[in-house]
Amino acid sequence: MKISILITSVILLFSCSNNQKTNEPNNIQTPNDESKQAKVISENLIKINILGTWISNDDKKSKMIFTKEFLVDIYDNEIIDTLSYVIENKESLLKTIDLKANIEFNYSIDYLTSKNLSLIYLERGNTLNFTKQN
């Protein structure tokens, strides 16, 4: 009899403490909120750092020029194509759109600093590395 009263008391004690915890206000920022904020910050940094002329590490004749609105693809000092582009904050996705041919190319921005850019071409999985021209 004493054991059953003790067990009942312990159960009631735990159930009361759980109710108190659920009534407390939640002012703590969740990891999801922090992640969203970090993605917005990183998206803005990407848009700033990507502007300029990038020379391919594999083929010095190949260049990309990012302006605020367009990506100009150049080979051997001749313009190959001018593409519009968007950067989406989900995993730093770079989408380029050839408006004439209505073709979209998707890249993941693997690495970006003020001097180096590494893109993964998602359709093939190959990596393209560039150095920023001064």
d(CA 78, CA 131): 19
Domain boundaries, the chain: 38-132
24-69 per-position pLDDT tens digit = 443 333 344 444 444 444 667 788 889 999 999 999 999 999 999 9
Q: Three-state DSSP class for 129?
A: strand
Q: What is the average pLDDT value for the chain, to the nearest integer?
A: 77
Regarding pTM above 0.85, the answer is no
pLDDT at 70 over 60: yes
pLDDT at 127 over 70: yes
The CATH class for the domain spanning 38-132 reads mainly beta
Q: Which residue has the higher pLDDT, 134 or 127?
A: 127
Q: What single string gives the DSSP state of each residue in 47-111?
A: HHHT-EEEEESS-TTEEEEE-SSEEEEEETTEEEEEEEEEEETTTTEEEEEETTTTEEEEEEEEE
